[in-house]
Amino acid sequence: MRDYGRPIGFDVFHSDIRDIIKQPLVNQPGEKWEYGINIDWAGIVLERATGERLNTLIQKGIVEPLGLKNITMLPTPEMKKKLASMHQRWPNDPSKCEERDHILREPLYAETKEEQEKLFNSGGAGGYAQPSQYVQVLAALLNDGKSPKNGARILKPETVNLMWENQIPQHPDFGREGLTPAKAEMSNAAPEIYPQEGKLINQIL
């Protein structure tokens, strides 16, 4: 995909839906699992099915019921004042770490409603959150979809259970294929993404 997009390239952190919809389908659904923009597409489908923006749906269905204030795809001026700097280890010398420009910049620049409406609500990477509030979403998921703090339910227990199940059982070791970074400055290679013990896919093949 990296090579397909060049010389222009794709920037999935640009808050522009064109960077998503211009990427070709690399596998037919069900044929293979591949790390990518899958959750972004899920967000696009949800927006088209409901007629509402993804950030609005998240606010109504998750943030507001849990009584949270600082989780959004459109950070408030107060949130911008508390924005943490991004740091990066460079591939040629992972022992060094330095501050870098923020990757997801456009939502930080958008101030008017018109500017915000133009932004793509990324389901895969579009959120800004205060850590102490984000963990309350995780706490609700670990409590069968119900907040242990205020008792609000954001998901049914059976829905949460589905989140822990492999939805592509024909690929039981999909998470052990290994991840090769398309952009070395963005991530490191990972041999697998399963927390459980098991064989790596190259050991199976």
Is the pLDDT score of 49 beyond 90? yes
Q: Summarize pLDDT for 68-98 with one digit per residue, the tens.
A: 999 999 999 999 999 999 888 776 777 788 8
Closest by Cα among 127, 112, 142 to 63: 127
Return d(Cα 152, Cα 6) in angstroms, integer.
Answer: 47
Is the pLDDT score of 44 beyond 90? yes
> Which structural domain, as residue segments, surrounds residue 82?
2-152
Tell whether 137 is covered by a domain: yes
Position 153 confidence tier, pLDDT thresholds 50, 70, 90: very high
Tell whether 187 is covered by a domain: no
Per-residue confidence (pLDDT) for residue 196, from 0 to 100? 60
H-run or E-run covering 129: strand 128-129
Tell whether 176 is covered by a domain: no
What 3-state DSSP class applies to 108?
A: helix
Return d(Cα 114, Cα 110) in angstroms, integer.
Answer: 8
CATH of the domain at 74: 3.40.710.10
Q: Summarize pLDDT for 13-39 with one digit per residue, the tens.
A: 888 898 888 888 888 887 888 888 889
Tell whether 175 is covered by a domain: no
Per-residue confidence (pLDDT) for residue 119, from 0 to 100? 95
Tell whether 185 is covered by a domain: no
Overall number of domains in the chain: 1
Per-residue confidence (pLDDT) for residue 197, from 0 to 100? 64
Cα separations in angstroms, 45 against 39, 51, 192 = 10, 10, 28
Which is more confident, 21 or 185?
21
- Give the amino acid at 79: M
Position 204 confidence tier, pLDDT thresholds 50, 70, 90: very low
What is the value of pTM for the model shown? 0.86
Bond before 157 cis per omega within 30 degrees: no
Total residues found in the chain within this entry = 205
Position 195 confidence tier, pLDDT thresholds 50, 70, 90: low
Percent of the chain with pLDDT over 70: 94
Tell whether 108 is covered by a domain: yes
Tell whether 143 is covered by a domain: yes
Tell whether 41 is covered by a domain: yes
Per-residue confidence (pLDDT) for residue 205, from 0 to 100? 42
Is the pLDDT score of 133 beyond 60? yes
What 3-state DSSP class applies to 190?
A: strand
Q: With contact defined as beta carbons under 8 Å apart, do 1 and 182 qualify?
A: yes
Which is more confident, 50 or 185?
50
